[in-house]
Chains A and B, each alone.
Chain A
């Protein structure tokens, strides 16, 4: 195992030790023991920057299940490194923040950090694995860890609801992704992403291309909360705030983005990929920003804002995939700007959204509420949090001089460029992209205003809060301050990222480009161009809308906080469980007769169908024994006996009929040369009749329970069907003797080998002695059972 392997699984290993640390070192907050690991990992991953920025990749492989082509491959390129840095860096900050956020005495810290480390390890596994099955395993582990963290306060109903919902939706997507992985394996015969990418030509002409693509996209969309799978993310806000900051804004929700970026070299360049990603991304962007405006809860606003920003990144990845369509080996910035913008915004979003969540957590922690209708006037009371939020929201709204401004400008550039592609009908529909992007940006600006001003401006009302409001402790402020510092630094000096992280990542998404060719160069000021005027428009309209808020706050649509798409989810879940129960109740009636009717009907219909279908009914046997008069007499007697049993009104009559049947059987055995059978049958029939008589003495009268007429008719129909099928089967099988019977063997061997002349007895005790042995066991068990049933005392229970 390579150091990179150990780095990937180190969080999982630490997670094993955490409960012991928690138990034996109660005086120190467990988080301190966790903090070192992501910090070390972050520094370790930083050391790879020179390698990846020179275009090299690192890969190491250890076999896991080699016979199935599953190897634990670590593969580190620009894209993987970018994500690994986000995961470990923000992970370290979140752990630090959580040390001050979660109480040492009141919370189950061992659970929290075990889940968190589980998630961190799984996430590193997702972004560093080259083998798709390994990636899938880590992928599901992130879903599991996420559900565990959402339901961290599992005594709350809402937490459990949110965890269940996120689990159902993301695991559904995970299964879809697995299907896509298997289809890819069918096409390329490998699970390795690099080898799949090298066979992209074969895949794009394969008939499974589209299904595989759709399955992979569904996997990515559910994880990244894309429309219409976004509904789980707002409910995931029941998680502790450090978790929301880490999983539900910076890392896990970007796993889908990672997957899409990773598969762009395989699927990119096709029209379907382009349109699905860009359209759903745009829809998510617009819907998320519109819904965020309606939220009253700080974390609710941030959740929908995350959805919206993820949609932005997804649509950029879609638009940028057009670069692969041209794939001319030329670095034409018209096409790949979108990818650069996506990667840049990915980094920016992680920084400002992480800090905003932490700020929201501080507000919640220090005031006891997250409701914007109660908050207000915190500016002077919490100056540091105020500054953090100011920078965070400004970056999110896309204002200079922060990094959000740059990535928003690049986003506008990308959508404006997209109108000039001239492919995939973009000349017709292309104009929709800048329009949607612009409208969504207006609403983004609006909810940023709401988030910021409703919390910090206005008058402070101490009576609104249960606690004495004051600034957060310094420890809690470190992490968001680090993140907003990054927001500012990336805003002022964006080019420190371009060579080290953005270019290598873009080169992984668009492998036909080499990192040197791309030449990402981000300026704060790039003249008066379309994008800048679009930003002016956004600010102006946003300010107007916010100023007029008193007007539209009355609209009923604004009051509805819950996403209307939840109706479909809740409805589907309800229908599934109640429908399932109804369906089961409909046929599981606990009626013995009903179940037997199912069984017999199935037997009759299945056998009948197969006999007709295979055309095996043959009613003229070739060789039959001749019929003699005493045999016919016997048959008539037996039929009479059987009918007597069926129609008997008293149980004695029925018993008489049954007896005549039994003794008829004995005579039947005599006539057809089976003396041993005749003897046994006679004895057993006598004993059974005695048994029946004995039991009848204790049982109620026969006619006390009578079948109703309709049920008798159904019974008769089913029973006739059974009889008919059996008869047809018996007659038809006469001509189908596939081999000679073993009679010759028994005739020859009975005396010579076993020393007996009675062939039946020799078979029973010698040739097939095991049958007899177990038949004896059956009798013994029956006898013991009968004894226990008669002698055994049933405990008196209620209801018996």
Chain B
């Protein structure tokens, strides 16, 4: 299972990178979102999949899944949410000020043109 998930997150990385390399600002933001999914998936996989019960002590199981990667991912999800929403508003503002969302046109200093 780990191999398949690794391949899946590889695909997510590929698509995320592909979108980030595009010149459309919206695509770049979507790309970061895809990339962060890939990262979260990888984090969980690296801790080992399906080693036991969910990390809740009430179950009285013999084994539990590792809770540490889950805590890390939880932090990461919240942070990437913050960043994504900030980027979205940044794109909105950029478009309002400069009238374009083409990264190739947003080059150089203000004084240049």
Contact = CB atoms under 8 A, between A and B. Distances in A.
Nearest to B20: A596
A716 B103 CA distance: 18
Contacts of B1: 624-627, 631
B30 A645 contact: yes
A541 B22 CA distance: 80
Contact of A719 (B21, B24, B90, B110): B21
A592 interface: yes
Contact of A646 (B18, B93, B101, B102): B18
Contacts of A702: 24, 26-27
A513 B79 CA distance: 79
B110 A797 contact: yes
Interface stretch (A178-186, A213-221, A751-759): A751-759
Contact of A741 (B68, B75, B104): B68
Q: Which of B13, B51, B83 has the most CB of A within 10 A?
A: B13
Contacts of B7: 727
Contacts of A642: 11-12, 15, 34
A14 interface: no
Interface string A346-360: 000000000000000
Interface string A741-778: 11100110011000001111001100010011001001
Interface in A665-721: 665, 668-669, 672-677, 680-681, 684, 687-688, 691-692, 695-696, 698-700, 702, 704-707, 711, 714-716, 718-720
A723 B10 contact: yes
A800 B85 contact: no
Contacts of A593: 21-23, 103-104
Contact of A699 (B18, B91, B113): B91
Contacts of A589: 107
A624 B5 CA distance: 11
A468 interface: no
Contacts of A674: 44, 54, 65, 70, 73
Contacts of A572: none
A586 interface: no
A59 to B, nearest CB: 60
Given A624-B2, A674-B44, A726 B13 contact: yes
B23 A705 contact: yes
Nearest to A783: B82
A607 interface: no
A658 B42 CA distance: 18
A779 B6 CA distance: 30
Contacts of A668: 41, 44
Given A625-B49, A688-B85, A677 B75 contact: no
A734 B2 contact: yes
Contacts of B108: 590
B34 A661 contact: yes
A704 B102 CA distance: 9
A789 B101 contact: no
B30 A764 contact: no
Contact of A794 (B20, B42, B52, B97): B97
Nearest to B90: A789
Query: Interface centre among B10, B27, B103, B111, by most A CB within 10 Å?
Result: B10
Contact of A677 (B48, B74, B111): B74
Contacts of A661: 12, 34, 37
Nearest to A628: B1
B82 A758 contact: no
Given A673-B53, A699-B101, A722-B17, A741 B89 contact: no
Interface string A648-675: 0001001100100110010011001111
Contacts of B34: 642, 645, 658, 661
Contacts of A590: 107-108
A700 B101 CA distance: 8
A731 interface: yes
Contact of B55 (A597, A758, A789, A790): A758
A688 B102 contact: no
Given A680-B78, A715-B22, A669 B44 contact: yes
Interface in A396-454: none
A799 B8 contact: no
B21 A715 contact: yes
11 contacts: A638-B8, A645-B34, A672-B50, A677-B74, A700-B95, A704-B102, A722-B17, A733-B46, A742-B66, A763-B71, A779-B82
A-B pairs, top 7 by smallest CB distance, nearest first, are: A723-B14, A727-B10, A782-B82, A759-B67, A719-B18, A759-B55, A719-B17
